[in-house]
């Protein structure tokens, strides 16, 4: 029941209600203050959300795997259960959605949920193509006055994110000249798996394929342990975007949080030879980001699978950092992972006299629990750290790297229009092909 409706019904029932203490009625735990959550994907990454959503009314569960659905139903026995997320989102009382399904359904579910005025927590990556990222972001911008969204980039809650932002903004490395992030996860695959056996009766395989072009069943797509099974399918173009969407979503966040970015005006990428089935293991993508009100135009890069930036300091081996970021400025550099950072002043002027660390009471306050931030936002401020504007711009940029990779040359991009201006043929790579009957905007 919405708070407004609750107040109305309280007025109708009259004096009986008035004897309850006000805090019990309107406090954080009052029934009227709880969200009615649908959890999509009830195993694997889904389980990581059980505790966070248990404080709310979990009213619906959806999983294409009925054994996984039963796993979720054990924890939330009062919820209605579904195998088709389209039906689940139509359950009338659902007002918030936590989604942990496979990547190729994320943009669909995000957009359909927002069309129903449901708040959304979407696991990363937010989208699987540039077009999907843009559709979801545009929908969010249209509805941001009433919806709270969060992309599951929960490492963002590490206080190191705040410290990096402060260091760069306060001038610890002078003027920011470039930034990049890298990841070393490597999952080489030869091509889509060959047909093997029949899907088990508890798995609705056709629904798992969902909007993507059909590929025959192979148990190898489902062979990973809980929370790791995404690694069994995310290298294939029709199911994911490889490390771009996987660790790229987490690691580029270190950079994104600092640079106050707008969409890039250019992208250029190279890596493994193109494979029509599988995304590249080795890749480096370079983006030209426009200037903003505090910094010049900025080269930003993403490296993965063995491609690495050059170290700015010979005695620092960046290869020792699995997933990291590097900021280079006129007076030094910062090297970071998710929880640590080191500052290297460099050059003759780098005596640090130009830099005053902030007083403790001026530090950016900790974000707190990342999932709770979204739950609280749904009930009040609507403000989150990784909303679909912030996360949407970031994944659009990263995915544009894959467009440039497929184009095989530098592309120029009109971020306002969402078009590659040169070469025009590269526009074909901005979108994915869907099976008949599936629409992003349902």
Ligand X SMILES: NC(=O)c1ccc[n+]([C@@H]2O[C@H](COP(=O)([O-])OP(=O)(O)OC[C@H]3O[C@@H](n4cnc5c(N)ncnc54)[C@H](O)[C@@H]3O)[C@@H](O)[C@H]2O)c1
Minimum CB distance to ligand X smaller for 46 or for 174: 46
Q: How far is the CB of 413 from ligand X (least distance, A)?
A: 25
Q: How far is the CB of 324 from ligand X (least distance, A)?
A: 17
Determine which residue in the list 34, 36, 39, 41 makes contact with ligand X, applying CB under 6 A. 41
Q: How far is the CB of 66 from ligand X (least distance, A)?
A: 9
Determine which residue in the list 63, 131, 238, 396 makes contact with ligand X, applying CB under 6 A. 63
Part in contact with ligand X (CB under 6 A); list of ranges 41-49, 137-145, 189-197, 332-340: 41-49
Residues 150-189 contacting ligand X, CB under 6 A: 152, 154
Name every residue whose Cβ is closer than 8 Å to that of residue 224 and which is 6 or more positions away in sequence. Answer: 230, 231, 232
Minimum CB distance to ligand X smaller for 57 or for 105: 105
Residue 62 near ligand X by CB under 6 A: yes
Residue 326 near ligand X by CB under 6 A: no
The tokens for 41 are: 């994907």
Residue 85 near ligand X by CB under 6 A: yes
Instruction: Tell me if residue 344 falls in helix, strand or coil.
Output: strand
Minimum CB distance to ligand X smaller for 227 or for 288: 227
Residue 105 near ligand X by CB under 6 A: yes
Q: How far is the CB of 229 from ligand X (least distance, A)?
A: 3
Part in contact with ligand X (CB under 6 A); list of ranges 57-65, 130-138, 270-278, 427-435: 57-65
Instruction: Tell me if residue 98 falls in helix, strand or coil.
Output: strand
For ligand X, the nearest residue by Cβ is: 44
Residue 229 near ligand X by CB under 6 A: yes
With contact defined as beta carbons under 8 Å apart, do 366 and 113 qualify? no
Residue 227 near ligand X by CB under 6 A: yes
Determine which residue in the list 35, 38, 46, 121 makes contact with ligand X, applying CB under 6 A. 46
Q: How far is the CB of 301 from ligand X (least distance, A)?
A: 22
Pattern 5-34, binding to ligand X, x per CB under 6 A? ------------------------------
The tokens for 247 are: 């660790």
Residue 243 near ligand X by CB under 6 A: no
- E strand residue ranges, 292-386: 298-304, 323-329, 332-336, 341-345
Residue 372 is given by DSSP the state H
Name every residue whose Cβ is closer than 8 Å to that of residue 132 and which is 6 or more positions away in sequence. Answer: 106, 107, 431, 432, 440
Residue 68 near ligand X by CB under 6 A: yes
Residue 417 burial (C-beta neighbours within 10 Å; 0-12, 13-18, 19+): exposed
Minimum CB distance to ligand X smaller for 106 or for 331: 106
Q: Rounded distance, CA 153 to CA 133, Å?
A: 15
Length of the chain (residues): 442
Determine which residue in the list 140, 161, 192, 208 makes contact with ligand X, applying CB under 6 A. 208
Determine which residue in the list 37, 43, 89, 305 makes contact with ligand X, applying CB under 6 A. 43
Minimum CB distance to ligand X smaller for 172 or for 394: 394
Residue 131 near ligand X by CB under 6 A: no
Residue 386 burial (C-beta neighbours within 10 Å; 0-12, 13-18, 19+): buried
Minimum CB distance to ligand X smaller for 338 or for 413: 338
Residue 102 near ligand X by CB under 6 A: yes
Q: Rounded distance, CA 414 to CA 179, Å?
A: 21
Q: Rounded distance, CA 366 to CA 364, Å?
A: 7
Residues near ligand X (CB under 6 A), total: 30
Residue 154 burial (C-beta neighbours within 10 Å; 0-12, 13-18, 19+): buried
Minimum CB distance to ligand X smaller for 243 or for 333: 243
Long-range contacts at 414-422 (CB < 8 A, ≥ 24 apart): 415/262, 415/263, 415/264, 415/265, 418/130, 418/131, 418/134
Minimum CB distance to ligand X smaller for 84 or for 425: 84
- Helices 247-259 + 159-169 axis angle, to 10: 40
Residue 123 near ligand X by CB under 6 A: yes
User: DSSP assignment of 218-260, as one string?
Assistant: -GGGG-SPTTTTHHHHTTBTTT--GGGTTHHHHHHHHHHHHH-
Determine which residue in the list 97, 98, 100, 394 makes contact with ligand X, applying CB under 6 A. 100
Name every residue whose Cβ is closer than 8 Å to that of residue 12 and which is 6 or more positions away in sequence. Answer: none
Q: How far is the CB of 204 from ligand X (least distance, A)?
A: 8
Minimum CB distance to ligand X smaller for 173 or for 181: 181
Q: Which residues of the shown chain bind ligand X in the complex (CB under 6 A)? A: 40-46, 62-65, 68, 85, 100-103, 105, 123-124, 152, 154, 207-208, 210, 227-230, 246
């Amino acid at each position: 029941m919405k708070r407004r409706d609750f107040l109305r019904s309280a007025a109708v029932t009259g004096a009986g209600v008035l004897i309850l203490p006000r805090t019990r009625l309107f406090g954080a735990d009052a029934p009227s203050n709880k969200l009615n959550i649908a959890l999509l994907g009830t195993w694997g990454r889904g389980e990581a959300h059980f505790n966070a959503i248990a404080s709310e009314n979990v009213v619906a569960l959806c999983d294409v795997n009925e054994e996984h659905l039963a796993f979720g139903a054990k924890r939330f026995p009062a919820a209605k259960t579904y195998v088709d997320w389209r039906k689940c989102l139509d359950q009338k009382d659902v007002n918030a959605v936590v989604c942990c399904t496979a990547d190729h359904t994320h943009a669909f579910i995000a957009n359909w949920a927002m069309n129903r005025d449901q708040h959304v927590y979407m696991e990363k990556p937010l989208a699987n193509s540039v077009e999907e990222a843009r559709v979801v972001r545009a929908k969010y911008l249209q509805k941001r006055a009433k919806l709270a969204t969060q992309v599951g980039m929960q490492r963002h809650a590490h206080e190191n994110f705040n410290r990096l932002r402060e260091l760069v903004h306060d001038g610890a490395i002078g003027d920011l000249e470039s930034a990049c992030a890298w990841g070393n996860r490597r999952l080489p695959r030869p091509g889509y798996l060959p047909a093997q056996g029949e899907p088990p009766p508890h798995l609705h395989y056709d629904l798992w394929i969902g909007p993507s072009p059909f590929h025959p069943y192979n148990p190898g797509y489902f062979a990973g342990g809980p929370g790791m099974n995404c690694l069994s399918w995310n290298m294939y173009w029709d199911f994911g975007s490889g490390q771009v969407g996987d660790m790229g979503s987490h690691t580029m966040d270190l950079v994104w949080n600092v640079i106050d970015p707008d969409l890039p005006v250019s992208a250029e990428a190279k890596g493994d030879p193109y494979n029509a089935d599988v995304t590249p293991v080795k890749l480096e993508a370079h983006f030209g980001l426009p200037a903003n009100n505090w910094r010049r135009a900025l080269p930003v890069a993403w490296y993965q699978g063995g491609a690495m930036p050059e170290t700015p300091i010979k005695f620092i081996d960046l290869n020792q950092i699995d997933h990291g970021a590097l900021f280079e400025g006129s007076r030094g550099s910062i090297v970071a992972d998710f929880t640590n950072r080191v500052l290297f002043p460099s050059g003759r002027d780098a005596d640090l006299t130009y830099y005053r660390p902030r007083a403790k009471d001026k530090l950016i306050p900790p974000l707190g629990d990342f999932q709770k931030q979204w739950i609280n936002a749904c009930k009040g401020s609507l403000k989150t750290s990784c909303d679909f504007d912030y996360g949407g711009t970031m994944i659009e940029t990263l995915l544009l790297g894959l467009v440039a990779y497929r184009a095989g040359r530098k592309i120029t991009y009109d971020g306002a229009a969402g078009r590659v201006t040169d070469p025009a043929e590269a526009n074909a790579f901005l979108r994915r092909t869907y099976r008949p009957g599936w629409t992003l905007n349902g």
